[in-house]
Structure 1
Amino acid sequence: MNIVFMGTPQFSVRILEAVHDKYGVTLVVTQPDKRVGRKRVLTYSPIKEKALELKIPVFQPRRIKQDFDVILDTKPDLIITAAYGQIIPNEVLDAPRLGCINVHGSLLPQLRGGAPIQRAIQRLYVTTGITIMYMAQQMDSGDIISQRSITIQPYDTSGTLFEKLSVLGRDLLMDTLPDIVAGTNSRTPQDESLVTYAYNLKRDEEHINWGRSCEEIDAHIRAFTPEPQCYSILDNKRLKILEVQPCTYPKNTTFDQYQNGTIVEVQKEYFGVKAEDGVIKVFTVQLEGKTKQDVKTFMNGSGRNMIKLYKVFQ
């Protein structure tokens, strides 16, 4: 078979490896190289790096809606996508005889869109999973071929959940592909009444709202970890809040007199910030222009004059 694989982030790498190992991949399609960091170093996507390692030809269209002939020229029997990052035109979707299928990081029709893993954590879901589906022009709306679920643990970040779902996606795809190749797989239309969306993360969402519950703040921080990360403002400086522990407390405590975002506790290993229904204990931070530090190290250095009782985060 001629298989074209389309993907970009680390999530897709082990999926590509498994498909190539069993079936062979003719072409890898990924996003253009990007300049990263302060030095603006031109950087390959994780999928491009793996494709080059496996000696698979790579195609990187800037706008696939206008530049897709390279894909059609391979005469693909099957196209597999996994977090590719662009809307694929109908000319490509209709090309392979076995269809164009997608490995999606949610239990569709829940969480259609580009950030299903982060949104599942942020919205306090206890379960998510992987869906193998046929691609359709409307975002993540195609018929479902197979699904498998996984529990979201209270300590999961988007980083740990990406890793778990990458393994689950690989395993489910490899279990599903034989039926797709044989033409014996099932396909179930999605129930449109159950659709929810998981749109891409926005920059203004990185700012912590201390007026929310401890559970919501903790989930927000975990959803944005390891990237793009959450921050708050103290002494007109941006301080990233990286590792926390939520601690709710009963009403009518001494903390109730302080506004949300107030530092109400300072210990050697952490400091506590008042939230709507408790205290967020902060253990790891990163001050703008500095490296990531545990709170003890931070308060022994540049944070010595910043972290004081009753100062308020903005």
Structure 2
Amino acid sequence: MIVFMGTPEFSVPILKMLIEEKYNVGLVVTQPDRLVGRKKILTPSLVKQVALENNIEVFQPENLRRNYQYIIDLKPSLIITASYGQILPKELLEKIPAVNIHGSLLPKYRGGAPIQYALFNGDDKTGITLMEMVYKMDAGDMIEKSEIEIDSNDDYGSLSEKLSIVGSNLLKKRLPDILSNNYTKTPQNEEEVTFAFTLKYSDEALDFNQTSKWNHQRIKGLSPNIGAHLIIDNVVVKVFKSQLSDIIDIKPHEIKIENKRLFIGCSDKAIEILELQQAGKKRLSTKDYLNGQNLFINGGMTNE
């Protein structure tokens, strides 16, 4: 019996593959239901929805480190994790073999935000690493890696979707070997390790003292779900889409509006904001947004 652990959309194709290939997934472990949206509706994870649709038992501990014994008692042959969202306790890993589908080419970008950081840093490629799990963050031996190119139009949503398919295919290929313990593995080179720690709110802020490219990449890495943010007249505005501009006669933080287009100065030149959402308002194209408000016309930018 296999225990699958995952939470967001990235995890869904991997769980679906296990179900379609008729592996015995006896338990799905996912994060507790969360309040979502302006109306604060209690919403299950996408992984939980798939599990329930397929009559698979779901376990949702708020803190896995304190509540893992139930998994051990089931005596599964393997744990498979894919963007679960909590650290597996040492006691669990000592009892049950576990593998992880990680969204980077390890040892680059250990941590909870590898896809975001690949976009933040403007990388031209990334990939999936299928790895053994140990009680040290993403430090286990590697079973196999699969590389893909990052398209210039990719944001977090599109790149995460591509990588989840890559991860599903890679696990499908190697899972028989893993279950029969018939595979080779490669230790990670500790000298090449970099980290992509789980994002804090401050990591989601735009910084117009940085270059336009830096801000554009930050927006891509946080779209379409979270959104990068800026603060103007103490009002939070999330930005979901942008493009680089050729306007250079503009100072950092300076706002320029022309023909219902919104430009903000960065350290080198302007960035054009294409899609945004003011706190408490709907998400809109910039053109539609500027038709109905004057926040950017009269407002002042706030540094965080």
Confirm or deny: 8 A CA contact 2:274 2:285 kept in the other structure: yes
**Identity rate of aligned residues, in percent?**
41
Partner Cα separation in structure 2 for residue 79 and residue 295 of structure 1: 45
Partner of 1:33: 33
Aligned to 2:64, the other structure's residue is in SS state coil
- Count residues with an aligned counterpart: 301
Greater Cα shift, 28-37 or 52-61: 28-37
Kept in 2: contact 1:248–1:277 (CA 8 A): no
AA matched with 2:48: K
- 2:235 pairs with 214, 234, 237, which one? 237
TM-score between the two structures when normalised by the length of structure 1: 0.90
RMSD: 1.7
- Output the amino acid matched with 1:14: P
- Find 1:209's aligned residue among 207, 210, 233: 207
Show CA shifts across 1:160-203 (max 9, x none): 11111111110111011122123221111110000000011111
Q: Does 1:42 align with 2:33?
A: no
Provide the residue aligned with 1:56 in structure 2.
56
Stretches of structure 1 that go unaligned for 5 or more consecutive residues are none
1:1-314 equivalences in 2 (<5 Å) = 2-22=1-21, 23-96=23-96, 99-248=97-246, 255=249, 258-268=250-260, 270-302=261-293, 305-308=294-297, 312-314=300-302
Partners in 1 of 2:71 and 2:118 — Cα distance? 33
**Higher gyration radius (CA):** 1
Question: C-alpha distance in 1, partners of 2:28/2:289?
Answer: 44
For the 8 Å contact 2:38–2:280, the answer to whether it is kept is: no
Q: What are the ranges of 5 or more consecutive residues in structure 2 without an aligned counterpart?
A: none
1:94-113 deviation line (CA, Å, top 9, x unaligned): 333xx210011011111000
Q: Distance in 1 between matches of 2:168 and 2:95?
A: 24
Cα distance, 1:36 vs structure 2: 2.5
Aligned AA (2:18)? V
Q: TM-score, normalization: structure 2? A: 0.93
**Helix, strand or coil for the counterpart of 1:65?**
helix
Give, in whole Å, the separation in 1 of the partners of 2:285 and 2:38: 24
